[in-house]
Amino acid sequence: MVTQSEVAKRAGVSFITVSRVINNKGNVKEETRERVLEAIKELKYYPNSLGRGLNSNKVNTVGIVIATLMGVNIHGNQFYNELMSGIEGICIRNSHDMLISTQKKYPGVEYDYLKLYYERKIDGIIMVSPNIPESQLRQIEEERIPCVIIDDHSDEHRISYVDADNREAVNLAGDYLFQKGHRKMGFLKGVENNRNAQDRLAGFYDVIAKHNLDLKEDWILEGDFTVEGGRDALRKLVAQNNLPTVLLCANDQMALGVMAEAKNAGLKIPEDLSVMGFDGIEAHRYTTPILTTMRQPLVEMGVAAAEMLFEQINNTDYVQEIRIFPVELISGESVKDVAG
């Protein structure tokens, strides 16, 4: 294993000169620099990031904690993929690698979102769809740990986050459905303890109130953000023998399940039931009919989160930053126009 000292010996200088060349710090004569660089090349020297990190407190690594990767898949993989690709681009630009936490998640046991930070001395963390215990939120705030949360947030802590305007988005969706003539709207909820699932449900209640629609409890279905959950919900809905004209789903995965099961149940979409999704994952484009959905700008959200994180990493003064992204309606073929 090649160390700095060996490079130094080869180049006929002291090891600190090698360090200077590598980090471009301090003055080094051009001729010496070249000699060192050549030695580095010849010996195939790579600086050891452990030794380096140990006293510079800089490891050029961003930690990422994703709920999916903890065995809980809230949105379907596509969702995280697009976020990741946004995050990755900014990490590349900043020469940071990405470290993914792989703690086991036990039901009922508090997940340690900060372990990665304390143990690995990473420069900052991005948390996607987390469910952070109060005590850890406080720690992040108090210790000014560089951190950006995506797809969840707390109003009680000065922690930066990136999110979509979920409530407003459901309002837009509802307005669209209303405009298409729908008056009997059903809603397929996401998991209860998720902040955004709550916001989406709240948005639905807004729609009901705003347009003075009937709020039928039977049409508000429990879901869990999975395809299977969507299938279950549709079966339940059909069994009740009283369909709404449209079912608005809290995410696309469930909408896919609803559509697949509708086929089995002999329901035609959108003729017998209109379906609308939420998220805008890739698969929505390949369904027949094409799923109408609300698209979150996920790549952009990932980019924003990473940029915000690097700002925190590079600037000493901690400022909370919040970026709420608008959600866009992607018109497909799964919503019938019953207005005309």
Partner DNA sequence: GAAATAAATGTTAGCGCTAACATATTCAAA
Partner DNA sequence: TTTGAATATGTTAGCGCTAACATTTATTTC
Q: How far is the CB of 20 from DNA (least distance, A)?
A: 6
Place of tokens 């925190």: 312
* Residues contacting 70, CB < 8 A, separation 6+: 103, 105, 111
Q: Name the residues that contact its own copies, by CB under 8 A.
A: 44, 46-51, 53-54, 59, 61, 69, 77-78, 80-81, 84-85, 88, 91-92, 95-104, 115-116, 118-121, 256, 259-260, 282-283, 285-288
List the Cα angle 117/318/308 in 5-degree steps: 70
Q: How far is the CB of 23 from DNA (least distance, A)?
A: 5
Closer to its own copies by Cβ: residue 134 or 282: 282
- Rounded to whole angstroms, the Cα distance separating 94 from 88 reads 10
> In the range 16-35, which residues lie near DNA by CB under 7 A?
16-17, 19-20, 22-23, 25-32
Q: How far is the CB of 217 from its own copies (least distance, A)?
A: 30
Number of chain residues interacting with DNA (CB under 7 A): 29
Write out the two tokens for 222: 């429990």
**Is residue 13 a contact point for DNA (CB under 7 A)?**
yes
Neighbours of 120 (CB within 10 A): 14
Closer to DNA by Cβ: residue 22 or 37: 22
Closer to its own copies by Cβ: residue 38 or 282: 282
- Rounded to whole angstroms, the Cα distance separating 100 from 123 reads 13
- Coil, helix or strand at residue 198: helix
Q: List, in sequence order, every residue forming a beta bridge with 295; answer none if it has no partner.
A: 279, 328
Beta-strand pair 322-325/160-164: parallel
* Residues contacting 253, CB < 8 A, separation 6+: 75, 76, 225, 226, 227, 229, 230, 279, 281
Site string for DNA, 89-108 (x = CB under 7 A): --------------------
- Rounded to whole angstroms, the Cα distance separating 339 from 335 reads 12
Name which of DNA, its own copies, none residue 13 binds, using a CB cut-off of 5 to 8 Å depending on partner kind: DNA
**Is residue 55 a contact point for DNA (CB under 7 A)?**
yes
Provide the binding-site residues for DNA, judged by CB under 7 A.
Answer: 1, 3-5, 13-17, 19-20, 22-23, 25-32, 47-48, 50-52, 54-56
